[in-house]
Structure 1
């Protein structure tokens, strides 16, 4: 008997809550001249009705791009099209700041039993984005370290440059990042590196990515093409 009374009270409370919500939707729909079903099925409209968000604050502090963990296949056309792999991470945000950390490792696998690789590149950088993080265009100075090894030479040192981000759709759905940097600038072993990375989301957290890179030095010019996946956090 007691169980039936409790069950009846729960049902009554549920029906009352649903009717109150529908009544609220009806009032809001009349206020905003919208169909109740539109408000009911739109989380964005419900959020705006409940409280108007601070759009300017979101533009400044909510990034239009996300941290990306990368893995895939890479090929070196300048080294007889030898193939290999790359792994890395892009834009780990350091606290609630526009400062991010990136790192990447790539190598060929054609002669992996040799003490020296035909192509190897490893490096880590810090980027400090100068424009609001929610912007669809952003620019950042780059500072870090990079080591490069090829069949013709090897070098390593301070890596400085600049990165341009073009965000076509927020939260990582689609973007292009262009980075121009110099390893050991002003030195005899200076290497200029140009990289273009294009990413396109296939799910909420998974993207297809392509990167094209060129290395220019006094001793040798090299190129690299990579295709793989990025997991966004």
Structure 2
């Protein structure tokens, strides 16, 4: 989940940044991106191209870092309450380290500030080919 997600009023532009690390120390990563939502925020469906930077570090296997390009589709089951997000990104495209990440996330707002969700992520790169499952608790300030 993003450590920081900034919306600029009713602007269709958002900025987010995130750091994550495995408890085992097997992996860590950082990413930051800008998304531009093509339809008005709060719509039942939206599409957002994104551009940013990602770094994935797996001790013993190496580090992949570079420009990240992608797109995210959002399906709001109930605006501001429940949504399904599907995204696909490429990190370091057209390089020997090109990494593809596909993510499916489902979340539900328990309150205006608290969201509960789950996330399934498939990752393919020259260094690894794996998937991750996560349970998310997102608190908005």
After TM superposition, is the score higher than 0.5? Answer: yes
Counterpart position of 1:213: 121
Answer yes or no: is 1:154 the counterpart of 2:63.
yes
Q: 5+ unaligned residues in a row in structure 1: which ranges?
A: 1-69, 71-86, 112-117
User: 1:209 deviation in Å?
Assistant: 1.4
TM-score, length-normalised on structure 2? 0.90
Contact 2:43/2:79 (8 A) holds in 1: no
Q: 5+ unaligned residues in a row in structure 2: which ranges?
A: none
TM-score, length-normalised on structure 1? 0.56
Counterpart position of 1:163: 72
Measured in 2, the distance between the counterparts of 1:135 and 1:213 equals 25
Q: Which has the larger radius of gyration?
A: 1
Measured in 2, the distance between the counterparts of 1:181 and 1:105 equals 17
State the superposition RMSD in angstroms: 1.6
User: Going by fraction, where is strand more abundant, 1 or 2?
Assistant: 2
Choose from 88, 108, 123 the match for 2:3.
88
User: 1:142 deviation in Å?
Assistant: 0.7
User: 1:95 deviation in Å?
Assistant: 4.0
Aligned length: 140
SS of alignment partner, residue 122 of structure 1: strand
Choose from 23, 26, 29 the match for 1:109.
23
**Where in structure 1 do 4 or more consecutive aligned residues deviate above 4 Å?**
none
User: Going by fraction, where is helix more abundant, 1 or 2?
Assistant: 1
Written as runs of structure 1 = structure 2, the 5 A alignment for 1:125-164 is 125-151=33-59, 152-164=61-73
User: 1:185 deviation in Å?
Assistant: 0.3
